[in-house]
Amino acid sequence: MWVLLGALAVAGSYFLLRGRPASQRFSTGSVDRGDVVEVVGATGTLEAVVTVQLGSQVSGTIDSLHADFNSTVKKGQVVARLDPSLFEARLGQARANLLAARANVDRARSSVEDMRQKY
């Protein structure tokens, strides 16, 4: 019993002495202009004031961005432009496939014509 009371007394005195505020120190200086030399570090989650879901029909790398955080945008305004190199490469590949298909059609026609003459 006495051991329990002694332990409570030690714990209570520890919490009372630990809660004392340290003396505050202030320093003053003159006002002047200059570069910011201090960096503020913080942890936490940033959240936008208003969040708008934005989507596109295609995906790709952004080439240029025409809106920034909290920018006001209007209906029909271009917000971002995608890098066209992937689309241009796909277009070139599709054109090459079209030319190859046309060449196959011409070859098939000439084969049919050749078979007709041999028949």
pLDDT digits (tens, 9 = 90+) for 64-112: 988 887 788 888 888 888 898 988 999 999 999 999 999 999 999 999 9
Euclidean distance between CA atoms 100 and 90, whole angstroms = 15
Residue with more model confidence, 105 or 24: 105
State the pLDDT at residue 16.
67
Bridge partners for 16 per DSSP: none
**Total domains, the chain:** 1
State the pLDDT at residue 20.
60
| Residues near 87 by beta carbon (within 8 Å), at least 6 away in sequence | 58, 60
49 part of a folded domain: no
Reduce the DSSP state of residue 17 to 3 states and report it: helix
17 part of a folded domain: no
Domain that holds residue 95: 85-119
State the pLDDT at residue 5.
78
114 part of a folded domain: yes
pLDDT tens digits, one per residue of 28-69: 888 888 887 888 888 888 887 777 777 777 788 888 988 887
118 part of a folded domain: yes
111 part of a folded domain: yes
